[in-house]
Amino acid sequence: MRNIISLSEEQQRVYCAWVFTPVVSLILSVPAGYAFVLLLPLLLTIGYYVFFNQYSSARQPAWWFLTLPLTVWIWLKWGFTDSVLSVVFAYYAGQLINSFTIPLIFKEDYTDTFVGWLVAHAAALLIWFIIHALLQPHDDFLAYMIIGLIAQSLSGFFLFGRYTFK
């Protein structure tokens, strides 16, 4: 079977960080009980710092830490809800808002990354909602993790503005 899309080594690292950051952050924070509402934003922020560090063109990935207060506020506001969908929406909405720090991280030519980030998060949210509507899992943590991995995996290709087709 032949690959139709060839990703560079850097793009592969970025893609893996994209797919696993939110899911691993959630898995690591859930055992903390109610403290997960504070631990999850911290792990997400650190994870996305690592994500931006994978880009060779990122000049100041530490600027992403400016998003931590907003991420904490979002989780304090919507992290204790009974609805999984509102929590998922809060996560993706927060990341879309946080995207406005990308110009600080990439001093030159950040447009592809900025647009890719916006489109990828919007696509992941849409994919999450569609799969959830089709499967209708009820309080199944494993199902939510699988939906998250599928949504992140499919949406991750929108991160790259320049594809190399074989």
Closest CA to 67 of 81, 56, 57, 52: 52
**Residues sharing a CB contact under 8 Å with residue 53, sequence separation 6 or more, in sequence order:** 61
Q: Encode the chain (166 residues) as per-residue pLDDT tens digits.
A: 445 467 778 888 888 888 999 999 989 988 988 888 889 899 999 999 998 888 888 889 999 999 999 988 988 888 777 788 888 888 898 899 999 999 889 877 778 788 888 999 999 999 999 999 998 887 788 888 999 999 999 998 888 754 333 3
**Residues sharing a CB contact under 8 Å with residue 81, sequence separation 6 or more, in sequence order:** 87
Q: How far apart are alpha carbons 156 and 154 in whole angstroms?
A: 6
49, 65 Cβ separation under 8 angstroms: yes
Torsion of CA 110, 111, 113, 118, to 10 degrees: 130
**Residues sharing a CB contact under 8 Å with residue 1, sequence separation 6 or more, in sequence order:** none
pTM (two decimals): 0.84
